Every structure is written in structure tokens, then in C-alpha cells.
Amino acid sequence: MTEKYEYKIERHPLSAAFPNMTTDEFVDLLDSVREIGILNPIVLFEDKIIDGWHRYRASVELDIDCPAIDLADDLDPQLFVIAHNFARRNLSASQRALCAVGVFKWRPSGRINQGHPEDEVVKTNKELSDLSKTSAMTISRAKKVISNAVNEVIEAVQSGEIGIVKASEIAKLDKDKQVEALKKPVKKTVPKEVVPEYDPADDMRESIAVLNEELEKANRAAAAGILVEGMEDAREIMERQAEEIKTLKAENDGLKATRDTMMVEIRELKKQCIYYQKKLKGLEK
């Protein structure tokens, strides 16, 4: 649909991390723009379209003006595209996970492979799972797809043609075999049972792992002579753990009180049983 049109503004990689509209969706957008024009301006970042790519396409194809603004300097471009696309679009867990990983793989223009690790925004699996509302396992699979899969596999996940489980299995294959694998189910490595996209236990395990990492970091800081900072970090962690222990203790005390009440009721019931048994024996005589 787009080959016969010339687009003078490029699509930003952060925008391209999200799937294109379906043909039907784009036709509906064309109808809307034809009737009322473009109400919301597209947003530019690094002179490329970070938000509003399909509105721009529609304006070019209908040969009408397309208003544009620059991304505000105080807005984080990665969080901006995450918030806008996740709020407006109905994406599956697989699509959201792949988008989140793809967005945070992006590096600022002109700084790639130039020795600027301080410019890299690194997100943990837990942070990415929170952003995408998926599990840490789904994020892990998405990372494998982004790192090892050919473009056709990535696009198949973006479009919703396949899920992240199958895509991560295909990504294990040699690149020259991956496209062919899209046409058939992966039999040997993908389990037949349904794999849940989200497991609440993942969040609990991630939280515990993060707490342990923080405690270990504080201990290392204290051991290295950074006593004040290390002690403050350790104290903060201990306070959080103390709050959790207090909550657990309150729950435990509540259970004990319930148990004691039930024991009293059981004793009373036993007494009543003995009373009625004696009374029954008296009647039998």
C-alpha cells in the first residue's frame, strides 16, 4: 500500500518497535482523516516520527497537511512511546513484551558503538515486566527473540501472527531455517500444553531476588569501607524486612486467635455431646 508514496520524514526506531496498523485499521484511519483531517499533530524526535506514523502516512496518501511538533525536552522518549502505545492500542502480552524489550534496546543517535556505556538505559527483567504487564519469563523470551531471531520472526510477533513462546523456540534455530519454521509448529521444543503468559509467582521471586541483590550490595559497600552509605542501605533494607515480618506476625497472631476461639468452641461442643449422650442413655433405661 505504501510503495507508490514518498515519505519525506522517516519513522523513528522507537516508533518502529511497535506493530503497524492492520489494513482494515488503516483504511478506517484514512476515512477519518478524509472527513475531519488530522486533529492531533505527529511528534518528532531526532527529526524522525516518534508518534503518529500512521497519521503521517494517511496525510501523504491523501495529500493534505500534517501538523507536527517536537518532543518536549523534559520527556523521556522511551517512556513516552511505551505510555502512548500501550494506552491506545490493544496489544497481546507477547506484543507488549517484545515492544518493551525493543524500545529499551534503542540507543541515542550517533552514540552506538562509540564507548558511551553511561548513555545506556538498562532495565531489569522485573522493570520491563512491570512496564509491559507481563511476566519476567515472557520478557526473557522476548530478549532471545530480539537478539537471535530474523526480522520475519520479529515481525510475526509484532503483527500477532505468532506468540513469544513459539518465536523464542524458532530463535534457537539457525537463521537460514527460521523463516521456514514460521510456516509450521515447532514440535520438539515447544511443549504441547498451554504455557501461561503471566504467573504472579514470577513477581514474588523477582522481588525477593532484588531485595537480596540490594542487601548484598550494601554488605559489599560496607566491607569496602563505604561504611555510612553501606549502613544506610542495609538499614533501609532491614526496615523493609522488619515491616514485612511485622505484617506476617500480625497475620500469625490473627490465626492463633482464630485457632484458640475454635478450640474453645470444640470443647463446648464436646461437653454438649457428653451431656446429650448421658441424657440419651437415661431415656433408653
Contact between residue 170 and residue 188 where contact means Cβ atoms under 8 Å apart: no
The pLDDT of residue 195? 40
Residue 80: what pLDDT? 93
Which pLDDT belongs to residue 131? Answer: 86
Kindly give, in sequence order, each residue whose CB lies less than 8 Å from that of residue 192, ignoring residues fewer than 6 positions away: none
Lowest-pLDDT range of 188-192, 208-212, 275-279: 188-192
- Size (the chain), residues: 285
Q: Give the pLDDT of residue 111.
A: 45
pLDDT given at position 222:
61
Residue 96 DSSP SS3? helix
Note the pLDDT of residue 57: 94
Percent of the chain with pLDDT over 90: 30
Instruction: Indicate the pTM of the whole model.
Output: 0.58
DSSP 4: T
Q: Which pLDDT score is estimated for 275?
A: 76
Higher pLDDT pick, 58 / 268: 58
**Cell 514460521, located at residue:** 182
How many whole angstroms separate alpha carbon 91 and alpha carbon 136? 17
Higher per-residue confidence, 99 vs 190: 99
- What pLDDT, on a 0 to 100 scale, did the predictor assign at position 235? 64
pLDDT at 282: 74
pLDDT for residue 45: 95
- What's the pLDDT tens digit per position in 106-142? 877 544 443 444 455 678 888 898 888 888 888 999 9
Residue (of 107, 120, 117, 118) closest to 46 by Cα position: 107
φ/ψ (deg, to 5) at 250: -65, -40
More confident residue, 250 or 48: 48
In the beta sheet, which residues pair with residue 69? 43
Q: Is the pLDDT of residue 16 over 50?
A: yes
Average confidence score pLDDT of the chain: 78
Q: DSSP character for 111?
A: -
If you search the block for the grid coordinates 483531517, which residue do you land on?
Answer: 37
Under a CB-based contact definition with an 8 Å cutoff, are residues 25 and 57 in contact?
no
Does residue 22 carry a pLDDT above 80? yes
Report whether pLDDT(27) > 70: yes
Of 37, 129, 147, 124, the closest CA to residue 82 belongs to 129
Instruction: Enter the C-alpha cell of residue 181.
Output: 519454521
Note the helical H segments in the chain. Answer: 13-16, 23-36, 53-62, 77-88, 93-103, 125-132, 136-148, 151-158, 164-170, 175-181, 200-223, 227-284
Position 105 confidence tier, pLDDT thresholds 50, 70, 90: confident
122: closest CA among 141, 139, 105? Answer: 105
- What is the predicted pLDDT for the residue at 203? 47
Element (H or E) spanning 67, and its range?
Answer: none
Which range, 133-137, 196-200, 280-284, is most confident?
133-137
Lowest mean pLDDT among 116-125, 169-178, 228-237: 228-237
- Distance CA(161)–CA(168), nearest Å, equals 14
CB 43 within 8 A of CB 70: yes
pLDDT at site 244:
67
